Amino acid sequence: MSDAPLPTSGTPTVPGLVAPQLSADPAAGDTAVGPRVAVIGGGISGVAAARVLHDRGIEVVVLDRGHRIGGRMAVRTLRDTGLPYDGRVVDVGAAYLTATGAAFRTVVDSWVDRALLRPWTDTFVTAGPDGRVSVVTGPLRYAAPLGLRSLVEDLAADLPVLVHPDAVEDVARVDGGVLVDGVSFDAAVLAMPGPQALDLVAEDDPVVAVLASQFYDPTLTLVVAYDGVCWEPFDAMFVNGSALLAVVVDDGRRRGDLAPVLVVHSTSLLAARNLDDPRSAAPQLLAALTAVVGTTADPAWFDVRRWSLAKPRRTLGVDHWFDGAIGLCGDVWGETSKIETAWTSGDALGRAMADRLLS
């Protein structure tokens, strides 16, 4: 789901980080000789893996092609809208997170204690193409006042993160490890959807069969800003039976500032038809939004973003894959696709790698 343009500089993704150079000599300068791991992909699964490796004393570098880390926990900063909330961030990737496992709950509790995360809602509206149908309750959803990306940045607070001026192009096995664009590491983490990872490895690499079994559906994210709230209150809606809409979120209630901003996630069917020109889908999405939510005013501003690889079509059950040289993690590695799954996958892979490299 990462369609972010390539960065234009090598600045660190998190303020205060010192971006390392991708040196071909592991003993260059003051660098200690020891296990080195490249984590390719700066979403929450990759950063969770890097967090464990770093904390176990393994030299690690996170490589990400985006402007900032976060992956599908992405935000959009509103600019040039002509509205009073320019500079405000909106979650345009993942909509929220839940926490069920004890290990992830510990991380979530830390974020809540430091006001990086807030309990949001356990109540959603269900709707059809013509409007609201019922109200349902479920697990508590959490939202981030500064956007979900801020949580990934917090996990990466003292990790070496290198924003590449170019995407990583090649991960090749060699005796004793891997080469990442010609630079030697003991192991590499591919923390990205399978279709992206396939572009990095040789056609005859053993990991190809694992990656080729992963299929992802696209989505479009429509962000709509209004002069004021012009709909009956709700936190979020699951839309059933629509060819256009899947989820609608009141971002003002999610963020806690009550700004009149709605975020719409399209169906994969609509997204697939409009990936080459996402904005062309805006009239259909806006009309469907009015029918479902009952907005009574025209938008003051809107934008559409595409996610080509938004969500795995099926998950793989086990929490990670590692063969001693290349490791895989992400939201496809688990029972259900969600942020907790991605974190758990990266954390498990990091532990498996550290145990292997330090044994």
User: What CATH number does the domain containing 175 carry?
Assistant: 3.50.50.60
Residue 166 lies in a domain: yes
Half-sphere exposure of 55 (CA within 13 A, CB side): 12
- Are residues 132 and 43 part of one domain? no
pLDDT per position as a tens digit, 292-304: 999 999 999 999 9
Asked if 107 and 347 count as a contact pair (C-beta separation under 8 A), the reply is: no
Alpha helix (H) residue ranges in the chain = 44-55, 102-113, 149-155, 194-197, 208-211, 251-255, 268-273, 282-293, 339-357
- Are residues 301 and 173 part of one domain? no
- Are residues 240 and 289 part of one domain? yes
How many CB atoms are closer than 10 A to CB 227?
14
Residue 22 lies in a domain: no
- Are residues 304 and 158 part of one domain? no
* Last-in-domain residue among 308, 332, 349: 308
- Are residues 46 and 155 part of one domain? yes
DSSP H or E run through 162 = strand 161-163
- Are residues 172 and 64 part of one domain? yes
pLDDT by 10s per residue, the chain, length 359: 333 322 222 333 333 333 345 554 443 444 446 899 999 999 999 999 999 999 999 999 999 988 889 999 999 999 989 899 899 999 999 999 999 999 999 999 999 999 999 999 999 999 999 999 999 999 999 999 999 999 999 999 999 987 665 678 999 999 989 999 999 999 999 999 999 999 999 999 999 999 999 999 999 999 999 999 999 999 999 999 999 999 999 999 999 999 999 999 999 999 999 999 999 999 999 999 999 999 999 999 999 999 999 999 999 999 999 999 999 999 999 999 999 999 999 999 999 999 999 99
- Are residues 278 and 238 part of one domain? yes
Residue 327 lies in a domain: yes
Domains in the chain, number:
2
pLDDT per position as a tens digit, 15-60: 333 334 555 444 344 444 689 999 999 999 999 999 999 999 999 9
Which residues are CB-contacts of 162 (< 8 A; sequence separation ≥ 6)? 10, 12, 19, 20, 21, 22, 61, 62, 63, 64
Residue 23 lies in a domain: no
- Are residues 175 and 141 part of one domain? no
How many CB atoms are closer than 10 A to CB 169?
11
- Are residues 277 and 157 part of one domain? no
Q: Determine the Cα–Cα distance for residues 62 and 53; give it in Å rounded to an integer.
A: 11
- Are residues 353 and 245 part of one domain? no
Give the domain CATH number at 224. 3.90.660.10
Residue 262 lies in a domain: yes
Closest CA to 318 of 214, 233, 241: 214
Supply the pLDDT for residue 67: 81
- Look up the domain containing 287 and give its range: 95-146+217-308
- Are residues 263 and 236 part of one domain? yes
Q: In what order do the strands lie in the sheet with 171-174?
A: 171-174, 177-180, 183-185
Residue 188 lies in a domain: yes
- Are residues 221 and 296 part of one domain? yes
* Last-in-domain residue among 270, 290, 308: 308
Residue 181 lies in a domain: yes
Residue 40 lies in a domain: yes
Q: How far is CA 212 from CA 178, 209, 215, 259, 305, in A?
A: 20, 5, 8, 42, 26
